[in-house]
Amino acid sequence: MAQTSSFDVTTGVDLQEVDNAVNQAQKEIGQRYDFKGSKSTIEFQRAESTLVLVADDDFKMRALFDVLQTKLIKRGVPVKNLDIGETKPAGGDTVRKEIKLKTALDSDTAKKVAAAIKDAKLKKVQAAIQGEQVRVSSPSKDDLQEAMQLLRGKDFGVELKFGNYR
């Protein structure tokens, strides 16, 4: 019987790196002249994987988000995995924005990944959805490499990670 090789397709963010980026952004906001005396804050709710940004107005909110995004990029956190909410008015003449972190593949994205592999009609390559990941298997490692290249070339709205390659 032929040995089958496989890899897992997942997504996620390193919560420690997000925490570090938030701390760096808060430090920069504390030192910047345009944020002096403002009520601008960034709160990281680790349990819910949510970032809450509060600022005085839309202009400061954009500047606050830009600082945070820059720090996240420098720390290697994929910005594709941010689900950015609308800027809403909050109490005390402030505006608030909630950003959810996508820490796992949702079922729709997993179905799109599996469908993309099936549509490519690669020889003997099969994709199976297993909870929050997609396992891609084939007897040929070359076909698996081809499947990886195919997935890297498509946009699924999240940063795909390939792991457990064997």
Mean pLDDT in the chain?
88
pTM over 0.75: yes
Q: Which residues contact 14 (CB under 8 A, 6 or more apart)?
A: 76, 77
Q: How confident is the model at residue 97 (pLDDT cuts 50, 70, 90)?
A: very high
Pairing mode of beta strands 94-101, 82-90: antiparallel
**pLDDT tops 90 at residue 73:** yes
Find the range with the poorest average confidence among 19-28, 57-66, 148-157: 148-157
Mean pLDDT calculated for residue range 35-55: 90
pLDDT at 1: 42
User: If you average pLDDT over residues 63-86, what whole number do you get?
Assistant: 91
Cα separation, 28 vs 60, in Å, equals 14
Domains and CATH numbers, the chain: 5-11+105-163 (3.30.70.860), 15-101 (3.30.70.990)
Residue 164: band (very low, low, confident or very high) from pLDDT cuts 50, 70, 90: confident
pLDDT at 165 over 80: no
- pLDDT the model gives residue 11: 87
Its sign, for the CA torsion 164, 127, 155, 68, is: negative
